[in-house]
Structure 1
Amino acid sequence: MRKDETVRLCTLRTETGEDVGVSVPGGIATLSVINATVTTSYGPTLLDVIRKGEAAELAAAVASLPDLGVPAARDEPEFGPIYRYPPKLWGVGLNYVRHADDLGVRQPTDAPGSYLRPSSTVIGYGDDILLPGQSQRVTAEAELGVVIGTTCRDVAPENASSVVFGYTTVLDMTAEDAIRVNARHIPWAKAFDTFCSLGPWIVTPDEIPDLSAVRISTVVNGRTIASNQVSAMMYDPHWQVGYFSGGMVLEAGSVIATGTPGAGVIQDGDTVEARVEGVGDLRNTVRLDPGASA
């Protein structure tokens, strides 16, 4: 994709449901308006745009939007998650030394800690993170998310950029007390509803001139808990694409959360943020799950 065909994409909550948002000068244009204006049928969801390989055509259309007069969305958009049903949602654990120290465990040296999580964990910007009754210590962590753009398998790390659609921001929650009891509990500790916030933006790789220099920060109630660059990862994002595609199909739209520089304990009423430079800031509030048993 050429520099003049880069796009920043999100999902917006609208009065009639959800629509894809495209960043344009002065605001956000909705995909439904773009389709109506240029007589196209892109999408209709962001996952569809990725699966159908429409990004370059959409970016070219957006480049002509000022002449077409496509209106921008309201000044304070209501974001949804980038999409609600990622084909695969991989998480990577203990990819920074600091995070291994947080948990008091030894950092893996042969392969990263990893886990698949269900789509019921997915929320978006501004949604509530619900604290389950089964855990007394939940943590939140900021991560860079890699969005796969081409269904692939057995990708060599040096070729990973060819299958990456873009990058997003992730807030990843953990019932940390369960892991401290037994590391084998990690699938359970990561699988509670609302435990993975995605978005609000996906940016194409062209907008990230140096991926290794991207800084990821975990922020709780305005205080930075941990911050570090991609260059400090033990396993970089392209290596991870190769690892997770080894012997396994990564469908277009799959997301890999690449690991956190550090996690913060969250409690009812907290505001937690993931800040990924050049990609976007993601913010959620924390609430007790009203359905949790006492």
Structure 2
Amino acid sequence: MSVPGGIATLSLINATAGTSYGPTMLDIILKGEAVALAATVAALPDPGVPASRGGPVFGPPYRCPPKLWGVGLNYVRHADDLGVRQPTDAPGSYLRPPSAVIGHGDDILLPSQSQRVTAEAELGVVIGTTCRDVSPQDAESVIFGYTTVLDMTAEDAIRVNPRHIPWAKAFDTFCSIGPWVVTPDEIPDLSAVRISTVVNGKTIASNQVSAMMYDPYWQVGYFSGGMVLEAGTVIATGTPGAGVIHDGDTVEARVEGVGDLCNTVRLKPAQ
């Protein structure tokens, strides 16, 4: 958790305040502890919560989201990238397995089954309340916060046949999440948030939430229609554009006001 002067781990906050929050981010979401935790931290005297310094090691906020939805072709440019027609009735979508999840600083592993893998930056929506049949107008009330997502695709597979998209998205390490979850009160204007895909320091694509065909609130309504979205579900809301990645590349997802997420691309795990 970010505090004045640095970063405080949850265990450090609990030890300082005599509380028992968590112990994981998913526990905080499931138990509805975010408001109480924020109040506890605010009430501690500065510097009552010592901050971790020297570069903490980050993982994903949690590794097993109850559901992990991905949204495709939600910006016009991304449809152009793939040479396909822009959907006009609803965005493309897919579910991914927890084995795809990695965090900030972890390696993206290129599978031998693909010769063209792309990476794309996205805004992630984290559901905070188990819900079903939520209207877009009420969507904000069930959102715990926002995170940064790097979404990988075996693009050559879906160019052969779009029906391959669940497989093309499901390889191990193909969905990086984190390092932060930012609560909605920290985002004064969600529509103005800018999302950028960066490969080796070069911005490949960049656009704002306002340019989405279907905004995050609409997506919460759409995916909750007739289906339970459990607390902790993550929806990756679509990318302004993807970049081809190769062994040794550094890939970043930058979401203004939410966080920067960075991963290195490898052909195989480090020995």
Determine whether 1:266 maps to 2:266: no
CA apart distance, 1:167: 0.2
Which residue of the other structure, out of 38, 63, 67, is the alignment partner of 1:59? 38
Q: 2:113 matched to which residue of 1?
A: 134
Determine whether 1:103 maps to 2:78: no
Q: Please state whether the residue corresponding to 1:80 is helix, strand or coil.
A: coil
Which residue of the other structure, out of 46, 56, 68, is the alignment partner of 1:89? 68
CA apart distance, 1:40: 1.2
Q: Distance in 2 between matches of 1:103 and 1:38?
A: 52
Q: Please state whether the residue corresponding to 1:239 is helix, strand or coil.
A: helix
The structure in which a higher percent of residues are strand is 1
Q: Please state whether the residue corresponding to 1:109 is helix, strand or coil.
A: coil
Residue 24 of structure 1 aligns with an amino acid whose one-letter code is V
CA apart distance, 1:26: 0.6
Q: 2:178 matched to which residue of 1?
A: 199
Q: 2:59 matched to which residue of 1?
A: 80
CA contact (8 A) 1:142 1:263 kept: yes
Which residue of the other structure, out of 152, 158, 161, is the alignment partner of 1:179? 158
Gaps (5+ residues) in structure 1? 1-21
Which residue of the other structure, out of 12, 26, 34, is the alignment partner of 1:47? 26
CA apart distance, 1:36: 1.6
Q: Distance in 2 between matches of 1:43 and 1:73?
A: 18
Which residue of the other structure, out of 1, 4, 7, is the alignment partner of 1:28? 7
Determine whether 1:114 maps to 2:93: yes
Task: Give the TM-score normalised by structure 1.
Answer: 0.90
Determine whether 1:241 maps to 2:216: no
Q: 1:277 matched to which residue of 2?
A: 256
Identity of aligned residues (%): 86
Residue 99 of structure 1 aligns with an amino acid whose one-letter code is H
Gaps (5+ residues) in structure 2? none
Determine whether 1:167 maps to 2:146: yes
Determine whether 1:70 maps to 2:46: no
Q: 2:234 matched to which residue of 1?
A: 255
Determine whether 1:146 maps to 2:114: no
CA apart distance, 1:77: 1.1
Deviations 1:3-62 (CA, angstroms, capped at 9, x unpaired): xxxxxxxxxxxxxxxxxxx11001111111111221111000000000100000000011
Q: Distance in 2 between matches of 1:268 and 1:66?
A: 47
Q: Distance in 2 between matches of 1:224 and 1:127?
A: 21
Q: 1:18 matched to which residue of 2?
A: none
Task: Give the TM-score normalised by structure 2.
Answer: 0.98
Q: Distance in 2 between matches of 1:222 and 1:100?
A: 24
CA contact (8 A) 1:218 1:264 kept: yes
Q: Distance in 2 between matches of 1:205 and 1:75?
A: 28
Q: Please state whether the residue corresponding to 1:79 is helix, strand or coil.
A: coil
Residue correspondences, number: 270
CA contact (8 A) 1:133 1:289 kept: no
Residue 253 of structure 1 aligns with an amino acid whose one-letter code is G
CA contact (8 A) 1:146 1:167 kept: yes
Which residue of the other structure, out of 183, 205, 227, is the alignment partner of 1:226? 205
Residue 232 of structure 1 aligns with an amino acid whose one-letter code is A
Deviations 1:238-269 (CA, angstroms, capped at 9, x unpaired): 00000000000000000000000000000000
CA apart distance, 1:121: 0.3
